[in-house]
Chain A
Amino acid sequence: MDQVDVASGKAPVIEPGYTFGTVTDKISSIVLTRPTSNGWFVGFGIAFLVTMMLLFALAYLFAKGVGIWGINIPVGWGFAIVNFVWWIGIGHAGTLISAILLLLRQSWRNSINRFAEAMTLFAVAAAGIFPLIHTGRPWLAYWLFPYPNTMNYWPQFRSPLVWDVFAVSTYFTISLLFWFIGLVPDLATLRDRSESHWARIIYGMLALGWRGSARHWHRYESAYLLLAGLATPLVLSVHTVVSFDFAIAIVPGWHTTIFPPYFVAGAIYSGFAMVLMLAIPIRKIYGLEDFITDRHLQNSAKVMLATGWIVAYGYGIEAFMGWYSGNRYDAFTLWNRLHGPYAFFYYLLLLCNIGIPQVLWIRKLRTSPLGLFLVSSVILSGMWLERFVIVVMSLHRDFLPSSWGMYYPTRWDWMTYVGTIGMFLSAMFLFVRILPMISIFEMRTLLPEAEVKAE
């Protein structure tokens, strides 16, 4: 593993002066000995109530059907698909941090990969709700999988929607495995350090009897690297397949080859924004500024700047092709974005995703937690608007003016959307309380004393 270079001018990934013992104590004590604060109860309480609102909205949906939403013909996709794509995209940063940065030997990732992976899992779980409830008959959602059935039929494998089922369920499974396998050595640490009998039993069961044997570590490292190698093309494929849901269709504004790369870049863009929105308060509240340093904030900001420009390039190409293709329907889609009834959202999108994030060029802002937090929230809104623009603005006016329409979300749309944010936050609140949010064993490898000196 790479060592921290304290001498070089860069801000360190971990502040000097820590030892194996103090790193272990600092991270594990958050879970084991730190009393649960009132702030945590308030935060979790609010998130939990919002989750209850989600359940209420879903219960009413199951009773009444998708007619309670604003979807109609022509806009059959609406909020459910907007939110699905938004959440799945957010998840991508977690895998990028844990897998791609691992392969690229970016050791600074070691202090943010754990909670970024947790974020991925919860975001994908939130995303998964939407296509299911959007089917209209979610109790039949298992029809999406190829299982032998009395109807004697199989799913249509030529459809990108079926590809999506496989991509998203593979993504969730691999993310879960990656996250859990990374946790095992740390669960062993918690097992060995916990004072409470039950905590020891539960952490002990989850740790699978991990004892840190050299043979085990050797195989573990192989498996971890292989998993990273498998997760890297996987994460790129997931949003590519999501973009196929659109790009394979012939709807103007969707039928374009720029979609896969531009979706993947947008996913990482919004994902890093979410990572920062979580990391900034967490490091403040739990006093983890020594582990999640300014270097992490800076690097994340740089990733956002880079992916933001890829997204901007995507918008540019979309607009250019609207004109250059000579296709009157594509040209109209562009015109409709700029002058149609939803034009306000298109301009807002350009402002949120391209305009405002340019402040990240300023070094001072890249190291200012509050500034980054605000910019990240702008980016997250912008990326949500992007999906709204793609889904709604293409569908509401396609080929025939006689079939044009408008889409207005209802309160149930909003309750479901906000509800999944509550669910996501509840899960994050529970996660920081019961599991080590920073990978302890990977932090140990960053310490200078981890280096084996040659005789």
Chain B
Amino acid sequence: MKTTPIYGMMAEFDSATALVEAARKTHQAGYIKIDAYSPFPVEELAEAIGFHSNRVALVTLIGAAIGGLSGYLMQYWMMAVSYPINVGGRPYHSWPAFIVITFEMTILFGGISAVFGMLALNGLPMPYHPVFNVPRFVMASKDRFFLIVFSTDPKYDPAGTRQFLATLEPRSISEVPS
């Protein structure tokens, strides 16, 4: 037990407002490697911990573009190159007829990229995570709000960080074993 490495220091709060405020102060105090946990999306929180942009939209755009292009090229190649048949004298490359499937493939690939891109960027699925070692953390999916300072943060030191978190008036503070 004594040799268990420490993952971070965690503080528990009662409301979204308290958490956002605490996260903002912690960030301003110079802690960089921090994270916050809430039972529902809190818009201000990402900003408060210094997380500004995510690449989900970019991944989705790329996915959608690949889907649309491959949808159209697939039809072009199959209908005009690989297996050309004359249907009522229409041109082999009859693009208006290809629009529907191009559109559907754009949506399909875009949607799949959005979901799996989001999961991959989030590092999910991840069945084990150190924060679950804190017994009170089960409340994070109900009505409690948590803030963590990771032990990898350059400013992290067990006593000092605990002291700093105490000034934020949390409900409880716990050390997170990894």
Contacts and interface: CB of A to CB of B under 8 A. Distances in A.
Interface of A: 1, 19-21, 24, 146, 152-158, 160, 162-163, 166-167, 170, 173-174, 177-178, 181, 185, 188-189, 191-193, 204-205, 208-223, 226-227, 230-231, 233-234, 237, 241, 244, 441-442, 444-445, 449-453, 455
A212 B127 contact: no
Interface residues of B, number: 70
Interface in B126-162: 126-129, 131-132, 137-143
Contact of A449 (B15, B20, B51, B125): B15
Which 8 pairs of residues, A with B, have the shortest CB-CB distance?
A20-B143, A223-B118, A208-B125, A209-B126, A154-B78, A218-B46, A222-B56, A192-B138
Contact of B40 (A155, A227, A450): A450
A166 B101 contact: yes
Interface of B: 15-17, 20-21, 23, 35-46, 48-49, 51, 54, 56-57, 60, 64, 74-75, 78-79, 82-83, 85, 87, 90, 94, 97-98, 100-101, 103-105, 107-108, 110-112, 114-115, 117-119, 121-122, 124-129, 131-132, 137-143
Given A177-B112, A218-B46, A20 B41 contact: no
A450 B45 CA distance: 12
Contacts of B51: 214-215, 218
23 contacts: A20-B39, A20-B40, A153-B83, A154-B79, A166-B104, A167-B104, A170-B108, A205-B127, A210-B124, A211-B131, A211-B132, A214-B38, A221-B43, A223-B60, A227-B111, A227-B114, A227-B115, A230-B110, A234-B111, A442-B40, A445-B40, A452-B42, A455-B21
Given A178-B111, A219-B54, 16 more contacts: A158-B90, A170-B104, A174-B107, A185-B40, A188-B141, A191-B141, A209-B124, A211-B140, A214-B48, A215-B35, A222-B118, A226-B57, A227-B114, A227-B115, A237-B100, A237-B103
Q: Describe A's contact surface by its main secondary structure.
A: helix
A153 B82 CA distance: 8
B16 A450 contact: yes
Given A211-B140, A214-B35, A241 B100 contact: yes
A156 B142 contact: no
Contact of B36 (A153, A214, A241): A214
A158 B99 CA distance: 10
A103 B94 CA distance: 35
B91 to A, nearest CB: 10
Nearest to A444: B40
A193 B107 contact: no
B124 A214 contact: no
B46 A212 contact: no
B41 A445 contact: yes
A223 B56 contact: yes
Nearest to B87: A158
Nearest to A439: B40
Most chain B CB inside 10 Å of its own CB: which residue of A21, A213, A445: A213
Nearest to B99: A163
B122 A216 contact: yes
A176 to B, nearest CB: 10
Nearest to A158: B97
Contacts of B140: 192, 211-212
A204 to B, nearest CB: 7
Nearest to B138: A192
A166 B64 CA distance: 15
Of B39, B87, B112, which is in contact with the most chain A CB atoms at under 10 Å from its CB? B39
Given A173-B108, A193-B138, A218-B51, A209 B127 contact: yes
A192 B115 contact: no
A231 B111 contact: yes
B142 A192 contact: yes
Contact of B87 (A152, A156, A160, A231): A156
Given A154-B83, A156-B87, A211 B129 contact: yes
A20 B107 CA distance: 35
Nearest to A168: B104
A445 B124 CA distance: 23
Contacts of A452: 16-17, 20, 42-44
